[in-house]
Amino acid sequence: MAAILTPDVIALLDSAETIKILATVDANGAPDAVEKPSLHHGGDGTIHVLEFLETSAANRNLTHAIWFGGSVSIALHGADGHRVQIKGRPVKLHITGPLFQKHYVRARETLGDVDLAGVWVIEPDEVIDERFEKVRAREDAAHPDFIHLDRIAV
Amino acid sequence: MVALLKEIYRAEPSFDEVLAEHPRFPRLIARKIDVQRRGVHYTEAAEKAVDPAVHQLRSPYIFGSRDGEIKPLPESLLLRDGTTILVDPTPLDQNPYVVDYRDGRFVLLDDGQRVEEVDLWPKPSYYDKLTTSGLPMSHIVSARPQRLNVFQSSFCYFWADKEGCQFCDIVTHTKQQRDEIGVPNRLRPEDVKETVAEAIKEPGRFTNLCLTAGSVTKGKEIFDLEVEFYIELLQAIGENFRTKKFPSQLIASAFNEKQLARLYNETGLTSYTTDLEVLNEELFGWICPGKARQVGYQGWKQRLVNAVDIFGRGNVGTGIVGGVETAQPSGFKSEHDALQSTLAEADWLAARGVTTVYIVWVPRPGSAFRDQKAPSLDYFIRLAKGLQDIRASHGLKVDFDDYRRCGNHPDSDLARLQ
Ligand code: SF4
């Protein structure tokens, strides 16, 4: 069941100010994390990632994930400090057709003489609020014993 | 024969049973293989949902299809990982996969079960245009999702000598295309140049060009005339590009070094393929009698190796008709032996810089092998994996013939992870 992207997460995905990291693993489990400014909301609850390099580690790892049911992680850090992690699965790669062409044209208009290898569609499975106060509140609630005693000393 | 085919597929281990033996083989590529092996049938709902303004309908092709007909059906399919499936419409009684249209999507069914969502190939914008000479551009240059195909002539002189390859239906199909839809026997370079110019106006659609045709044995030296035709054509196409070289593949006869050097130096061609079709000297003699008599298996191989010196490692390939090595009565009796022998030869070639790719053998009605049966899905999976492993172990790339540039080779689909 795909996770729902709330309007604040969609805003984070679509903001040019947001730092966007895509983390994938290869066939041997080796991780790869790369900044992907091209990552954005697909408009239908999915996330789209423009891949400019056919043989990049991310592109190969996404292929491995779609072939073998693997997942990816996306970390977003907004200008206002809002931090979110999205776990999801690549479900489709567009290498031709109207969606691909739209991005190809736009990418070349905005970035100059670039090529586009494909547009990946990621379906989100889980959206985790990673703001520190939220993470800490979750940790405190789940593990109240994890605390240095000096913090509760009289 | 038809009823027999149905029984044979049903008696085989199921798709899932075969895949269970290959947990590290991508399911989508296995599905592609199986769809190519068994063909597809479009339901009425699917046919109705096809929009000729949006979807690419079947265009002239060098080889025929397994229903032996030319009908305005979709050209072919794309899987959700971007994998191309080149597949023919197939009569229902041969137990093909079924393409249906359900809930606004095209889906692939096996035995009534939905197994994948599929896309039809998008129609390129030049397909509706005519050349100045009045020919439909789709008859001059045909499209794949990312490639332009130029089938310069669909006559093969090996057929004239009654020595055509036994799996091939090129001449039967040419006659049918000429009679039914008016495809010219031979293309004029100016028509091709004009069509390519129009095609590449579409942004983000095409990544390379592929030229192929039947063999022309005529000339002072064998194939001289064929080389001449290609040089003329490639030079005309090259006028559309600002760089001397443009991403391109020529699949042609086994040319000698002088002919290859001319092709490389006088045109923008970047890669060269000449098909051995079957990697076994004895079977080559039986299956490709014309090639065997006029050049020979060892001669064909040597010409491939020589081509590496001219086009460079990773830019020279040979195609095989995967599975034809099991054709009877002279082919391998066991799939195991067929695989061992084929992979050993592919390894020999890879060590010398020649990459081997296969297409799934489909016994076509217009070919001498029309009543044969292709091997099992398990065989094609092992062949794909074997060829890709060989390529990777020799550090050979296959950029000119990969999942985007070509899309017809399950083994080079696997190179996406290389
Ligand atoms: S060389 Fe063989 S496969 Fe190629 S067109 Fe001629 S007969 Fe057909």
Predicted confidence at residue B9, as pLDDT, reads 59
Predicted confidence at residue B172, as pLDDT, reads 74
pLDDT tens-digit profile of B248-270?
A: 999 999 999 999 999 999 999 99
Percentage of chain B modeled with pLDDT above 90: 83
CA angle, B143 then B145 then B148, to 5°: 35
**Half-sphere exposure of residue B334: CA atoms within 13 angstroms, side-chain side:** 4
ipTM: 0.90
H or E stretch at A46: none
Q: Which residues of A touch B33 (CB under 8 A)?
A: none
- Which pLDDT band holds residue B3 (cuts at 50, 70, 90)? very low
Nearest-angstrom CA–CA distance, B403 and B82? 8
The answer to whether the CB of B276 is under 6 A from ligand 1 is: no
Predicted confidence at residue B61, as pLDDT, reads 66
Inform me whether the pLDDT recorded for B155 exceeds 90. Answer: no
Q: Is-contact B235 B176, C-beta < 8 A?
A: no
Atom of ligand 1 nearest to the CA of B157: 6
Q: Strand pairing of B142-143 and B248-251?
A: unpaired
Summary mean pLDDT of chain A: 96
Predicted confidence at residue B186, as pLDDT, reads 85
Task: Kindly give, in sequence order, each residue whose CB lies less than 8 Å from that of residue B163, ignoring residues fewer than 6 positions away.
Answer: B289, B290, B293
Task: Answer yes or no: do A60 and B119 touch at CB < 8 A.
Answer: no
The answer to whether the CB of B323 is under 6 A from ligand 1 is: no
Q: Which residues of A touch B80 (CB under 8 A)?
A: 66, 91-93
Q: Choose which residue among B61, B152, B154, B170 to substitute to test ligand 1 binding: the one with the highest number of ligand atoms within 8 A of its C-beta.
A: B170
pLDDT tens-digit profile of A142-151?
A: 999 999 999 9
- Which pLDDT band holds residue B171 (cuts at 50, 70, 90)? confident
Q: How far is A89 from chain B (nearest CA, A)?
A: 12
Q: Which residues of B touch A97 (CB under 8 A)?
A: 119, 122
The answer to whether the CB of B164 is under 6 A from ligand 1 is: yes
Q: Is-contact B62 B170, C-beta < 8 A?
A: yes
Predicted confidence at residue A1, as pLDDT, reads 64
Q: How far is A124 from chain B (nearest CA, A)?
A: 17
Inform me whether the pLDDT recorded for B60 exceeds 70. Answer: no
Summary mean pLDDT of chain B: 93
The nearest alpha carbon in chain B to A94 belongs to B82
Q: Is-contact B267 B241, C-beta < 8 A?
A: no
The answer to whether the CB of B170 is under 6 A from ligand 1 is: yes
Inform me whether the pLDDT recorded for B7 exceeds 60. Answer: no
Predicted confidence at residue B180, as pLDDT, reads 74
For the ranges B90-99, B337-346, B379-388, which has the lowest average pLDDT? B90-99
Predicted confidence at residue B63, as pLDDT, reads 66
- Which pLDDT band holds residue A129 (cuts at 50, 70, 90)? very high
Q: Which residues of B touch A62 (CB under 8 A)?
A: none
Mean pLDDT of B90-96: 89
- Which pLDDT band holds residue A107 (cuts at 50, 70, 90)? very high
- For B28, the closest of A60, A67, A104 (CB atoms) is A67
B414 CA to centre of ligand 1 in angstroms: 27
Mean pLDDT of B306-335: 97
Task: Answer yes or no: do B145 and A96 touch at CB < 8 A.
Answer: yes
- Which pLDDT band holds residue B161 (cuts at 50, 70, 90)? confident
Predicted confidence at residue B8, as pLDDT, reads 56
Which chain B residues touch A if contact means CB-CB below 8 Å?
A: 26-29, 78, 80-82, 119, 121-122, 145-146, 202-205, 404, 416-417
Inform me whether the pLDDT recorded for B324 exceeds 80. Answer: yes
Task: Answer yes or no: do B82 and A100 touch at CB < 8 A.
Answer: no
B171 CA to centre of ligand 1 in angstroms: 9
Residue B291: strand, helix, or coil:
helix
Quickly count: other Cβ atoms within 10 Å of residue B225's Cβ: 15
Q: Is-contact B158 B143, C-beta < 8 A?
A: no
B365 CA to centre of ligand 1 in angstroms: 15
Nearest-angstrom CA–CA distance, B246 and B249? 10
Task: Answer yes or no: do B205 and A101 touch at CB < 8 A.
Answer: yes
B112 CA to centre of ligand 1 in angstroms: 37
For the ranges B55-69, B74-88, B191-205, B298-312, which has the lowest average pLDDT? B55-69
Query: Using CA positions, which residue lies closest to atom 2 of ligand 1?
Result: B165
pLDDT tens-digit profile of B14-39?
A: 999 999 999 999 999 999 999 999 99
Amino acid letter for position A86 = I
- For B204, the closest of A63, A91, A100 (CB atoms) is A100
The nearest alpha carbon in chain B to A91 belongs to B80
Mean pLDDT of A56-81: 97
Atom of ligand 1 nearest to the CA of B156: 6
Q: Is-contact A33 A43, C-beta < 8 A?
A: no
- The CA–CA distances, whole Å, from B368 to B3, B194, B345, B354, B372 equal 20, 37, 25, 29, 9
Predicted confidence at residue B2, as pLDDT, reads 43
- For B82, the closest of A64, A104, A118 (CB atoms) is A118
The nearest alpha carbon in chain B to A57 belongs to B417
Residue to mutate among B205, B417, B418, with most A CBs inside 10 A, is: B417
Q: Choose which residue among B61, B157, B168, B277 to substitute to test ligand 1 binding: the one with the highest number of ligand atoms within 8 A of its C-beta.
A: B168
B357 CA to centre of ligand 1 in angstroms: 17
Predicted confidence at residue B64, as pLDDT, reads 67
A97 touching B (Cβ < 8 Å): yes
Task: Answer yes or no: do B78 and A118 touch at CB < 8 A.
Answer: no
pLDDT tens-digit profile of A69-82?
A: 999 999 999 999 99
Verify cis geometry, omega within 30 degrees of 0, for the bond prior to B26: no
Inform me whether the pLDDT recorded for B200 exceeds 70. Answer: yes
